[in-house]
Amino acid sequence: MDQRPRRVTINDIAAATGFAASTVSRALSRPGRVNAVTRDAITQVARSLSYVPNTHARALTSGRTETVAVLVSDVTNPFYFGLIRGTQHQLKAAGYAHLLIDSENSGGLESHMLTKMRQSIDGAILAASRLPDRLLAALAAELPIVAINRNVHGVPSVLIDSPSGVAQATEHLISLGHREIAYLSGPENSWANAARWRALVTTAARHGLPVRRLGPFPADRMNGSAAADALINTNVTACITFNDLLAIGVLARLHERGVNVPGQISIVGCDDIFGADFCHPTLTTLTAPIEQAGQVAVSMLLTRLHEGAPTTRQSIVLPTHLTVRDSTGPAPD
Amino acid sequence: MDQRPRRVTINDIAAATGFAASTVSRALSRPGRVNAVTRDAITQVARSLSYVPNTHARALTSGRTETVAVLVSDVTNPFYFGLIRGTQHQLKAAGYAHLLIDSENSGGLESHMLTKMRQSIDGAILAASRLPDRLLAALAAELPIVAINRNVHGVPSVLIDSPSGVAQATEHLISLGHREIAYLSGPENSWANAARWRALVTTAARHGLPVRRLGPFPADRMNGSAAADALINTNVTACITFNDLLAIGVLARLHERGVNVPGQISIVGCDDIFGADFCHPTLTTLTAPIEQAGQVAVSMLLTRLHEGAPTTRQSIVLPTHLTVRDSTGPAPD
DNA sequence: CTGAAAGCGCTAACAT
DNA sequence: ATGTTAGCGCTTTCAG
């Protein structure tokens, strides 16, 4: 009674219409290859029997699964919320299923999951992959992938142009009179972290200004305390933080320790995640189009899947802009 | 060259070991049914060939897919972040794949996706289903499901006990001297919304106090403005909000209009989502164990799948508690 | 305990 | 344009 009630198959439709199973198959999956009237007859019967094609049988023969895996390094990180939203949306529009995988910040788990799932998916989106360049490139040779915020030769990717955003942020701080700026560093193995630091160094150098690098700090709210304490020990009047999560943590700790933001120190975040506009004070940050990044990544992947084109080395860079809120202000005298 | 490099199958292992394919199959999926030494030989060869079983072939014959769908009504809503984290974690631990589906607040899309996916999944977790009771019950008869925050006869579920939390919150407000409390209502078709409202009414009545119901408001930050404005038009000194998202929106609007919280009005949220502890002022709210809800839901589903037991009508209620922060205070004189 | 054989539902050559 | 015939890789009777 709890048994699955014997689904209707392509053969049932064949029997009902008098056509061969293969014709039914064609009519349903390659409508062009079949006479219009037989196609209509078949579609009609299929509908009336409420036929649903069996994904597995289809995948088994065709190799296509209409499923894309989205790997994030930590589902918990609100940065991914927007991204997941973007991939989810775009994938659904294309009729693809969305397999969510959390690699728990581990390259090992990442590649393990990927090999395990290889035949269950047509491709994958790797957000913030923890895989070393070589492995990533090797993987890309076996499986269509698109990386987000990761620039490796031979791996199509969607990059968020934080460098130019960081440059803007730096100019913003300098124009407010800040002469010494610190960078609160995120994970050492993060591509974005390195890119942001470099951009800060470059821009500050152009103005003949020194920068300090503090950290690394794991990029979560908790570690904002350590970061804030480190910050207080310096005499910088402004800092750019690896990401908003960390920045929000810093803000909380600074408040706790009675340091006024932006009165005594200005804070800039990165990403503009959920919360950046309602924390206290609201956070000046680099707004990254992360939902769009998810969408674009999916589009690239899908194109690749459909064209069959190797599409090596294709990369798209998405712009960021500085969103000024209340956490930055004039340097104290 | 881009062709998938011909995966190793059970037959390769059979050839390599000299055993029949069926024996290999058994050794790999039902180790008990096979001689220890042949099993070891087979496992060994399988490993050395880095064999990965084909999900689809397996699903096709066995009917099992080791995949569970998690349906949320809106991936964007931070309430689901914790939930997804919980399901993701638990599912992965059990070796199941996690299929994320966004039903976009539409019952139609919800059931459509579910029928389409029926043979691709072993079961589903429905978070905040928009399906009418009857359809939900019918669905549960066909497919193992566990509902979250939805109480329908015959559908196993995980319920978050907001009623007792709301009661606590109400007592909290009354003890602070508030004599007239409003409820900012969420979507009318939400089970949780109804439950919360009832709990407020009951508790207030016990103290002989009136309550006002405002709304309904779509439960997102945007609509916090409308909700706040409606609130200002009353002369209540405190309100309980359907959820934190709405509450955070209300806080922002109140601030904008110069209304002091909690000086002039106290606000209580529900759920304790990401952000509730760092918005301004920090939000007094009902802390719901939503990550745990996800975990429990998965456990229930998995038990059901493995025991094969119909497990009708099993429900688990998870407790909530009031987390007092800065958005509530004594009633103004 | 192990092997042989028969499919699961569908697609993809190959014929017609 | 349609039908025939083989499987895809695996599990599962059913024998031995």
Task: Please report which confidence band the pLDDT of residue A31 belongs to, taking 50, 70 and 90 as the band edges.
Answer: confident
Q: What is the interface size between A and B, counted as CB pairs within 8 Å?
A: 118
- More confident position, B260 or A314: B260
- More confident position, A72 or A106: A72
Question: Do the chains contact at A102 and B120, CB–CB below 8 Å?
Answer: no
Q: By percentage, how much of chain A surpasses pLDDT 90?
A: 70
Name, in order, each residue with C-beta under 8 angstroms of A4's C-beta and a sequence gap of 6 or more. Answer: B63, B142
Domain spans, chain B: 10-53, 67-160+290-318, 162-288
Amino acid A25 CA to nucleotide D3 C1' distance, rounded Å = 12
A97 min Cα distance to partner chain B (Å):
7
* Type of residue found at A104: E
State yes or no: pLDDT of A2 exceeds 50.
no
Topology agreement, domain B67-160+290-318 and domain B162-288 = yes
Determine whether B302 is exposed, middle or buried from the number of CB atoms within 10 Å of its CB (0-12, 13-18, 19+): buried
A227 min Cα distance to partner chain B (Å):
17
Q: Which residue is nearest to nucleotide C5 (CA to C1')?
A: B22
**Most confident segment among B126-130, B295-299, B310-314:** B295-299
User: In the numeric block, which tokens belong to residue A179?
Assistant: 């002469």
How far from chain centre, in Å, is Cα A264? 34
**Most confident segment among A17-31, B106-120, B171-185:** B171-185
Question: pTM for this structure?
Answer: 0.86
The mean pLDDT of chain B is 91
State yes or no: pLDDT of A5 exceeds 80.
no
Distance CA A282, CA B252 (A): 11
Q: What is the pLDDT of residue B162?
A: 87
State yes or no: pLDDT of A197 exceeds 90.
yes
State yes or no: pLDDT of B266 exceeds 70.
yes
Amino acid B150 CA to nucleotide C9 C1' distance, rounded Å = 35
Question: Do the chains contact at B78 and A76, CB–CB below 8 Å?
Answer: no
> Which run of H or of E encompasses A224?
helix A224-232
Residues B67-160+290-318, CATH architecture: 3-Layer(aba) Sandwich (3.40)
Amino acid A126 CA to nucleotide D1 C1' distance, rounded Å = 44
Distance CA B318, CA B295 (A): 12
When pLDDT is averaged across residues B187-201 and rounded to a whole number, the result is 91
Cis peptide before B216 (omega within 30 of 0): yes
Distance CA B145, CA B125 (A): 6
Task: Please report which confidence band the pLDDT of residue B313 belongs to, taking 50, 70 and 90 as the band edges.
Answer: low
Which of A8, A81, A279, A280 is the mutation pick for testing B, counting most B CBs within 10 A?
A81
Q: What is the pLDDT of residue A1?
A: 35
When pLDDT is averaged across residues A147-172 and rounded to a whole number, the result is 93
B141 min Cα distance to partner chain A (Å):
7
Q: What is the pLDDT of residue B33?
A: 85
How far from chain centre, in Å, is Cα B18? 49
* Type of residue found at A79: F
Backbone φ and ψ of B101, nearest 5°: -130, 130
The mean pLDDT of chain A is 91
Q: What is the pLDDT of residue B4?
A: 46
Q: What is the pLDDT of residue B322?
A: 97
When pLDDT is averaged across residues A214-228 and rounded to a whole number, the result is 93
Task: Please report which confidence band the pLDDT of residue A309 belongs to, taking 50, 70 and 90 as the band edges.
Answer: low
Pick the CATH number of A162-288 from 1.10.10.10, 3.40.50.2300, 3.40.50.1820, 3.40.50.620: 3.40.50.2300
Q: What is the pLDDT of residue B28?
A: 92
State yes or no: pLDDT of B244 exceeds 90.
yes
Cis peptide before B310 (omega within 30 of 0): no
**Most confident segment among A128-142, A178-192, A262-276, B78-92:** A262-276
Task: Please report which confidence band the pLDDT of residue B214 belongs to, taking 50, 70 and 90 as the band edges.
Answer: very high
Distance CA A127, CA B127 (A): 25
Residue B234 approaches strand D within 7 Å at CB:
no
Chain A residue with Cα closest to B308: A2
Question: Do the chains contact at A278 and B251, CB–CB below 8 Å?
Answer: yes
Which of B55, B73, B220 is the mutation pick for testing A, counting most A CBs within 10 A?
B55
When pLDDT is averaged across residues B14-20 and rounded to a whole number, the result is 92
Amino acid A55 CA to nucleotide D11 C1' distance, rounded Å = 18
State yes or no: pLDDT of B257 exceeds 70.
yes
**Residue keyed to tokens 């995640």:** A273
Q: By percentage, how much of chain A surpasses pLDDT 70?
A: 96
Which of B106, B111, B119 is the mutation pick for testing A, counting most A CBs within 10 A?
B119
